[in-house]
Each structure stands twice: as structure tokens, then as C-alpha cells.
Structure 1
Amino acid sequence: MENVSAVTMFTLSGLKFTYMQRMTLFVVTLLWYILILLSNISMIVVIVTDKTLHQPMYVFLCNLCINAVYGATGFYPKFLKDLLSTQVISYAGCMLQGYVIHSSSCCDFSILTVMAYDRYVAICRPLVYHTLMSKQRVSLLVFFSWFVPLYCMFMNTATLLGKELCGSHINKLYCVNWMVSSLACAPLNANGIVTAINLAIYFGHFLFILWSYLYLMRVCISSREMWIKFMQTCFPHLICLLTFAVTLLLDIFYMRFGSADLPQDPHNFMTILFLLINPVVNPLIYGFKLTGIRNRVLSILHFKKKMSTFAM
């Protein structure tokens, strides 16, 4: 039996690849991580530097991109290191990584919920939009979209600290609080209560998003002009929301109910799908779909082209 004083390191699920396969995967992963950083940071810089984009929708999008960088940094550097060495992580590192990845996923959901509220007000209550979405209200929404998930995941992680563990292997490429709690020698009642509260909070998020979109569709479906507005302003948010939900639920359901007979490599891929797709989808979809951002990016590229031509 191991206890927490003995379990100072966790082993993660192995990557059964040859040296050359590891090197290839390392290069591909590094390039993907760089793409995530460049696309999201570029979006952040464009929104921050262009005063015409200092509107609620773009402010929320900026926070979505900041969160993508935060969450990706909790996974990719450690995964890149694992490709060059053994898949082990310290107890403190495991708690930190689990906290970052969990809180980032919850922040995504919270920000997407706030964006759903913004779209509801913009389309269904346009006459009072600027009153309801004042700078003070937007700042408050941004604050709570970060504070609630960070606090919820802090409480969840705190209930795991100092508990006796009877194992040290996590069958995943990164640390997950639920898998750490499953290694406990005795039931963690406090963790179960906190998890139930967190699930209730985010189920409330889901119900609000569902209500807002049902209401939006009911309002917009009767008018062609309103439906076009709905598709222009809500479609990017809906795509990001569906991508987030499908990839995250796939990981959660497989982790809880998946078959142990599935080979390790497909299992590993399924568990990191939301870390691969979501950080790239948000800037890609919004960058192409939203006119304000697309025009700003094109103007920057055009300016650089003119400067390079002038220099020649």
C-alpha cells in the first residue's frame, strides 16, 4: 500500500512508439502548439489594439483566446517533454496540471455562456443593448466567467490534497482529478460533494445556453432579416460551442464508461481531442466569420505587403 507521503510521482499512460515516431510526433505537436499560440495571441493583439473592436462580443472572444493559451500551456509543454523522456510527473505537478486543464475547460464553458447572453441581448433586446451591456456589466461578466471556474476547480483540487493514495498510475496523457481520486485508499466524501456542486453549476450554464438559443431561434425564425442576423452573429458561437461540447463529452464519457479493450494509442488520441481542436477552432472560426476581425487582419497584411514592396 502506498500513501501520499510515498507517492511523490505519478506515471502517465505510456506512448508505445519507436524513437523516430516519437521525434516525428514531437515536431508535429510542437508546430501545433506554436499554431495555437500564434493564432490566439494574434487574435488577442488585434482586439486589444483596435479600438473599434472594443465591444462586448470581441472582449469575450479575447478572453476565450486568453483561456486557450492558458489551457494549452497546461498540457503541451509537459507532453512535449514526455515525448523525449519517460511519462512521469511529480505529485505537485500533477495537481497543478489537473487544475489548469480542468479550470481552462470550465472557463471555456463560462465564457461561451456569457457570449450566449450577449447574443440574446443583441438580437432580442437591441434597444437596451448598450444599457445592459455597459462597460461595468461586461467587466463583471468577464470577472465571474474567470472567478467561478477557477474557484470551483480550486476547491475540487483542494479536496484531493493530503489524501492517502493506494496507487500511482494514471491511465491518461495528463493528470485528471477524477483519476487521482480513484487512487484514494478511502472514499473522498468532500471531493464528491464539491464535484456535485460544480456539476450543478455547469448544468445551470447548459440550461441557460439551451434556453437562450431556443428563444433566439423562436424570435428569428419568423423573419428572414432576423434569421440572417442570427446566422451572421450566432453561427460562429454555435460552432465553437458544439465543438467544445462534443470533444469534451467524448473524453468524459470515455474516461467514465470506455472499454479497456481499446488499444492505448486510439485511447490517448480521444482523451486529448478537446486539447487539439478547441484552441484552434475559436480563432479560426471567428477570424473568418466576424467582419471586424477579418477586415482588421486583412488591413494589417495589406499594410505589410505595401511596406515590403516599398522597401524593395
Structure 2
Amino acid sequence: MMGRRNDTNVADFILMGLTLSEEIQMALFMLFLLIYLITMLGNVGMILIIRLDLQLHTPMYFFLTHLSFIDLSYSTVVTPKTLANLLTSNNISFTGCFARMFFFAFLGTAECYLLSSMAYDRYAAICSPLHYTVIMSKRLCLALITGPYVIGFMDSFVNVVSMSRLHFCDSNVIHHFFCDTSPILALSCTDTYNTKILIFIIVGSTLMVSLFTISASYVFILFTILKINSTSGKQKAFSTCVSHLLGVTIFYSTLIFTYLKPRKSYSLGRDQVASVFYTIVIPMLNPLIYSLRNKEVKNALIRVMQRRQDSR
């Protein structure tokens, strides 16, 4: 078989993709291309609107700019190669595979901690509105945005270095549509127990720390909202964090389903569907969630368009 190798390591991998049917491959290509174009347009548009409108130069939109940047980069790591594989060869070099896995893990971890930073920002805005500008100082905002990138880089570096030391001498066929940790570990002909434990600790600690921060923030937010006497005040306070809460729910539910479920319940088909959702679909949904439910973004878009018309 073309995937069999006798050497102690492989020069490239073969991505099996999502299906072997040419008709379905073409349909998936058109669908993923459309999603990727919407993702590019939505996230780049969100970044430009926030940059161009001075009224959106606040901590909340500062974090949202970086969320759009991460989603854009996150999708670009996976989607273009997936589109190419649907039309042409499924081969990917060893270096290219591990490089994509590094950036995928780096950006995914950074997004987890960035969502935590955004949750703290909402906590400060709702629970301490009079001191919000003092609490969310420029220095703290920079720390809350730098931390996710640094932690993401370190975790991903340790993960990839640990996996790169494994040997792949039996098969180079990855039963997935992108280079993810689990299907690559399944190919190794050496003992992967220590690597699996390390990855579980990294992924588990990331999810636990970020989820604890988000949950704690929203517990305090909920108590504060319940203390508000007027119904309109409660609705206004809740509306400032509902988009973030919806984005967090979608993102974390798919991650937990994919990476922290018992191995006995593993199913390649369900795993691939979940992977498609959080690697390709969610980066498209985030700008839609934060723009369609946000009057400030809509008004900023109108102001930007009016300024462009006035300048002509």
C-alpha cells in the first residue's frame, strides 16, 4: 500500500480527507470556499471597522480585534490546505504538517485565554462600571492580550517538540483532513503514553483555567444583574455580554467534545464533523455573532460608510 513505510521516520504524510467520493469532494470544496471567503470578509471587516471608528477604541473592541485576527489566522492554517486537498494531491510534508499543527495549537490556545480576558473585561464593565476605565487600563489590556499569545506559543512549542521526537515507521496515512494531534499519534510506532499524558495536561489545563475564569466572571456578572431593579437595566447589562457568552458556548462545547471525551466513545465521523465546525465554521460565526447582535458595530459601520461617501 502507498501508505506503508519501512524507515524509522517519514518524509511526508497523506491526508485522507473527509470523503473519497469526487462528487462530495467538489460539493465540500464549494461549501468550504464560501465559508472561508465569508470568514475573511467578516474578520477583516470587523478589524477595519474597529480601527477606523474612534468610538470603538475601547478595551472590549480592542480584545475583539485580536479575536478576529486569531480567527482569521486560525482558519487560514487549516482551510486553504483542506481546499487544495479536495482538488489535488493529499500529500503534505512532515515539516509542513508539524508547522500547521504548531500554529493550529498556538492560535487555539491563544483564543481560549483571549476569551477569558474578554470575560474579565465584561466583569469589570458590569460589576464596576464607575471604575471601569481605571481597572481596564492600557497596561492591563496589553497584559491581558499578550498573555494568551505567550501561553499559546509555549504550550504549542512543548506539544510539537514532544510529538516531533516520535517515530513513524508503519504508515504515513493520516485519517483526518488536517494535521491534528490524535490522528498523528495513532501513526507512531513508538510508545506515545508520555506524549499523550503531556498533551492531555496541556489541553486540560488550558480548558480548565480559561473556563474557570470565564465561569467565575459570569457568576459575579449574574449576581450583579440580579441586583439591578429595572427590567430595562437588566436587559441592557445582559446584552453587553450575550454575544461573548454565545461565542464561548459554541467554541468550548466543540473543543471539549473533541479533545476531552472518553476514548471508548471515539468515532472518526463525529470527530471530523466537530473538527470541521471549530476549525472552519466557528471562525466565520464569531464576526457574525459580535456584529449582528451589536448596535455599536452596526452604527460604526454606518459612520464609516458615510465618511467614505462624504470624502468622495
Instruction: Give TM-score scaled by structure 1 length.
Output: 0.88
AA paired with 2:127?
Answer: C
Q: 1:219 and 2:212 equivalent? A: no
Q: How far did residue 16 of structure 1 move?
A: 3.4
Residues 156 and 292 from structure 1, CA distance in 2 versus in 1: closer, same or farther, beyond 3 angstroms? same
Superposition deviation, residue 47 in structure 1: 0.8
Give the whole-Å Cα distance in 1 for the aligned partners of 2:17 and 2:277: 17
- Where do residues 183-262 of structure 1 align in structure 2 (5 Å cutoff)? 183-184=187-188, 185-187=190-192, 189=194, 192-193=197-198, 195-223=200-228, 224=230, 225-252=232-259, 256-260=263-267
- Is residue 2:303 matched to residue 1:299? yes
* Alignment partner of 1:178 is 2:182: yes
Range with greater deviation from structure 2 (221-230 or 49-58) = 221-230
Aligned length: 305
Match for 1:234: what amino acid? C
Task: Determine which of 114, 121, 128 is the counterpart of 1:111.
Answer: 114
* Ranges in structure 1 where 5+ consecutive residues have no aligned partner: none
Shift in CA distance, 169/19, structure 1 to aligned 2, threshold 3 Å: closer
Higher RCO by CA contacts (8 Å cutoff, separation 6 or greater): 2
Comparing 199-208 and 69-78, the one that deviates more: 199-208
Say which SS state the counterpart of residue 159 (structure 1) adopts. Answer: helix
Instruction: State the distance in 2 between where 1:112 and 1:258 align.
Output: 28
- Equivalent residue in structure 2 for 1:61, among 43, 64, 69: 64
Instruction: Select which of 93, 96, 112 maps to 2:99.
Output: 96
Secondary structure of the residue aligned to 2:192 is coil
The Cα shift of 1:294 comes to 0.9
Following superposition, the deviation at residue 119 of structure 1 comes to: 0.6
Tell me how far 1:146 sits from its aligned partner. 1.4
Native 8 Å contact 1:4 1:163 kept in 2 = no
2:85 corresponds to 1:82 = yes
In structure 2, C-alpha distance between the alignment counterparts of 1:101 and 1:187, rounded to whole Å: 21
- Confirm whether residue 155 of structure 1 aligns to residue 158 of structure 2: yes
Q: Comparing 1-10 with 67-76, which one deviates more in the overlay?
A: 1-10
Say which SS state the counterpart of residue 183 (structure 1) adopts.
coil
CA distance in 1, matches of 2:32, 2:102: 22
State the percentage of identical aligned residues.
Answer: 27
1:168 aligns with 2:175: no
- Contact kept? 1:2, 1:164, Cα under 8 Å: no
Counterpart CA distance in 2 for 1:15 and 1:119 is 39
Query: CA shift at 1:149, angstroms?
Result: 1.2
Cα distance 1:157–1:3, how it changes in 2: closer, same or farther (>3 A)? farther
Amino acid at match of 2:246: I
Shift of 1:18: 4.2
- The SS at the match of 1:221 is helix
Give the Å deviation of 1:165: 2.2
Distance 1:125 1:146 in 2: 27
CA contact under 8 A between 1:9 and 1:168: conserved in structure 2? yes
For the Cα contact (< 8 Å) 2:17–2:85, is it kept in 1? Answer: no
Corresponding residue number in structure 2 for 1:28: 31
The separation in 1 between residues aligned to 2:146 and 2:273, in whole angstroms, is 33
Q: What is the letter of the counterpart of residue 168 of structure 2?
A: L
Amino acid in the other structure paired with 1:151 = M
- Higher mean Cα deviation, 34-43 or 226-235? 226-235
Which amino acid is 2:219 matched to? Answer: L
Give yes or no for contact 1:10–1:88 (8 Å, CA) kept in 2. Answer: yes
Sort the Cα spacing of 1:158 and 1:291 in 2 relative to 1 into closer, same or farther, 3 A.
same
Structure 2 vs 1, CA of residues 212 and 75 (structure 1 numbering), >3 Å: closer, same or farther? same
The Cα shift of 1:8 comes to: 1.4
* Equivalent-residue separation in structure 2 for 1:127 and 1:267 (angstroms): 46
Does the CA contact (< 8 Å) of 2:16 and 2:177 recur in 1?
yes
After TM superposition, the score normalised by the length of structure 2 is 0.88
Question: In 2, Cα distance between the equivalents of 1:214 and 1:128?
Answer: 19
Find the partner of 1:287 among 275, 291, 309.
291
Q: State which of 253, 277, 281 in structure 2 corresponds to 1:277.
A: 281
Partner of 1:10: 13
Q: Do the aligned partners of residues 103 and 4 (structure 1) sit closer, same or farther apart at CA in structure 2, a change above 3 Å counting?
A: farther
- Cα offset, 1:99, TM superposition: 1.6
* Gaps in structure 2 of 5+ consecutive residues: none
Q: CA RMSD in A?
A: 2.6
CA contact 2:225–2:238 (8 Å) conserved in 1: no
1:88 shift after superposition: 2.4
